[in-house]
Amino acid sequence: MKLSIPRASPLTSIQHVSSSPSLLTPASIRLFSVLNRPPPNYPGHVPLTSIERTALALGSGLISFLNPRRADTIAAFAEVTATPYFIYRLRDAMLASPTGRQILRDRPRITSTSLNLEYLRSLPANSLGRTYVAWLDRERVSPDTRCAVRYVSDPECAYVLQRYRESHDFYHALTGLPTVREGEVALKAFEFANTLLPMTGLSVLAAATLKPSERRRFWSTYLPWAVRNGLRAEEVINVYWEREMETDVGELRARLGVEPPPDLREIRRREREERKRQKAAISGAA
């Protein structure tokens, strides 16, 4: 099991140096600043000052609310708001689970190459793997589009957030929710109840941008479903998806405590057909 070792804070280091005047040099007391940025803790890591982190949180949060399809700003907001508490809570949940600990040891990545999508298409229709790849094909999305974590300082916690991010499409497949805005908001409500990550909570506010009929459906049907299932379900971050591909998806839902919501895609299809029927009836009457 990989455990992160806390590092001494800059203040502690300064106090230690000041106790030995002969060691005190200007270079040894320079604090973290834009002009004195420490080296990255892992490839791609960008250390941030408190001011930079706050500014990035405010800016990315506003842009993400106004445009929920901006994956880059949503990813940045998730990273800068996950620390100091929320990502550690998620990491500790993994450390408390045998499967979570195994994932942290192995650090698998979810990509189209690592998953062998052609093999998944050959699995039985009721398997998780076939359900997952069928959802990818239907929604025309790829597991290769997830942004790399850059703004989380602890390497282990950075992996935890990367794992959460790359597992997102499995959450879609598990629940059957589509990628339309209404489906994304419902899924983010489920994720917030299950993970407590602030970004998922902010995404729920995007319900205000839904059409009136969609908003009513969200408040009456999908939000209660999300809260009920997100709170009672097992920590979905601890699912080793790569080892569950041949598992019956219904069995996996039962094991995790997740009941599928009403089929949103089918509901929207019926609504479209009803609108077409009414429009045709009006045109015929005219």
Is 172 marked as binding a ligand?
Answer: yes
Tokens representing 277 are 């029927």
Is 45 marked as binding a ligand?
Answer: no
Angle, CA 185 vertex, CA 179 and CA 187 arms, to 5° = 75
Give the phi and the psi of residue 230 in degrees, each rounded to 5: -65, -40
Buried/exposed code over 57-91 (b: 16+ C-beta within 10 A; e: otherwise): beebbebbbeebeeeebbbbbbbbbbbeebbbebb
Cα–Cα distances (Å) from 58 to 51, 87, 177, 281, in that order, read 11, 19, 29, 49
Is 168 marked as binding a ligand?
Answer: yes
CB-CB neighbours of 200 under 10 Å: 22
With CA atoms as reference, report the closest residue to 101 among 196, 236, 240: 240
Helix (H, G, I), strand (E, B) or coil at 6: coil
Binding-site residue positions for Zn(2+): 168-169, 172, 184
Binding-site residue positions: 168-169, 172, 184
